[in-house]
Structure 1
């Protein structure tokens, strides 16, 4: 059988007015993809013990929603930094375990612009009552990151801040805080704060990590 020739080719897609919407969608999706890769790479130091396979498509889809919230630029020219960045809040890097389902403790996130510091505060924390995990773990620690970044140009290095390893047995922690220094913040940058939890099995003071599929990390806030 002879293959029929089609009038559709790359040159036509790039120049024909009929494909203007296709070109616009392609350009914006490309911008969303670059922003997703940048954020993923920036937060990678805190993801070593968190399962984050197949994240590219999910994060790009979320970034595209952010971009669609840009009310400054016209369709085809919309950009992630001008979009609805709050859409990122709650995004889970682990697709199988969400932070919201595991960590029930109430907390607040603040950004001190004068001192360039982000803080996550837990006013009252009872692990046995406020953590729900199927990992079989008997210990945990919290991980947090705060980074100043331009979702088109780049970001500055980020170092995760971690608590000590705590026993999951019934204990009461008051005013538990994680303080993160925000490096080289620029006025037009966004500050992204991420929070995660890692689980361990501890025997006689020796702690082994559980399977990373049980460890969630999510975007806690965007300033």
Structure 2
């Protein structure tokens, strides 16, 4: 019997053969999701210190791909993250071991001013003992926030993270608390992505000893899409 000749699959064929059209579409969209993941992680690099797990890149790429798939404008292979439902990012935790939803039990709001120069995370009545839950035995914490104006397609991300002083969880008084986050070089085509983080410490004789990174949290708490700012 004659042996059937096997077609050779090479890069040129994958790039041109109609048989591989679906593969080309998937690769193009996956590449865009990876780029959006990379841009957000680079923008949030300072905020992610001591708060992100080692698998965050893969998890974030998956989330970006879900956003890309929600693009109602373009067809398969041409869909983009910037046209998708960016609100899917809200609630994303950079640390898979601990979520902001489990650590922070009090109410807060996220607003942005009319000039789009500052976002504010407001706690109307913040009492650390009642609102902060930690499994590490830490007795001190520090809140941080970041607001980034991003297109998720361009290599620009000027940001300025803001953080509170370290506060004793047991002794901190009940009081209003605000994180006022500058929004730098905003463009009308950019979305504004805001994250809130909590880092824990052991306060010993006036000094602060960091706890294991797995107990700290950072999560996206609000996304203002370009057409809603």
1:105 alignment counterpart: 106
* Structure 2 Cα separation of the partners of residues 173 and 141 of structure 1: 15
* Structure 2 Cα separation of the partners of residues 178 and 151 of structure 1: 24
* Structure 2 Cα separation of the partners of residues 111 and 64 of structure 1: 27
Q: State how many pairs are aligned.
A: 220
* Structure 2 Cα separation of the partners of residues 104 and 120 of structure 1: 15
Q: 1:192 is paired with a residue of what secondary structure?
A: strand
2:183 alignment counterpart: 182
Contact persistence 1:69–1:84 (CA under 8 A): yes
Which runs of 4 or more aligned residues in structure 1 lie more than 6 Å from their structure 2 counterparts after TM superposition?
none
1:71 alignment counterpart: 72
Contact persistence 2:93–2:220 (CA under 8 A): yes
- State the shift of 1:18 in Å: 2.0
Contact persistence 2:139–2:203 (CA under 8 A): yes
2:135 alignment counterpart: 134
Out of 119-128 and 177-186, give the one that drifted further.
119-128
Deviation digits for residues 173-216 of structure 1 (CA, Å, limit 9, x no counterpart): 33210001100000010111010000011122211111111111
1:119 alignment counterpart: 120
Q: 1:81 is paired with a residue of what secondary structure?
A: helix
- State the shift of 1:11 in Å: 2.4
Q: TM-score, normalised by structure 1?
A: 0.93
User: Aligned-residue CA RMSD in angstroms?
Assistant: 1.5
1:58 alignment counterpart: 59
Deviation digits for residues 118-156 of structure 1 (CA, Å, limit 9, x no counterpart): 000011222222211111100001010001111001333
Out of 85-94 and 15-24, give the one that drifted further.
15-24
Contact persistence 1:145–1:160 (CA under 8 A): yes
Gaps of 5+ in 1: none
* Structure 2 Cα separation of the partners of residues 18 and 139 of structure 1: 59
Contact persistence 1:126–1:170 (CA under 8 A): no
Q: 1:78 is paired with a residue of what secondary structure?
A: coil
* Structure 1 Cα separation of the partners of residues 25 and 173 of structure 2: 54
* Structure 2 Cα separation of the partners of residues 209 and 183 of structure 1: 30
Contact persistence 1:147–1:155 (CA under 8 A): no
- State the shift of 1:95 in Å: 1.3
* Structure 2 Cα separation of the partners of residues 32 and 118 of structure 1: 26
* Structure 2 Cα separation of the partners of residues 135 and 158 of structure 1: 30
Q: 1:155 is paired with a residue of what secondary structure?
A: coil
Q: TM-score, normalised by structure 2?
A: 0.91
* Structure 2 Cα separation of the partners of residues 168 and 175 of structure 1: 15
- State the shift of 1:93 in Å: 0.7
1:213 alignment counterpart: 214
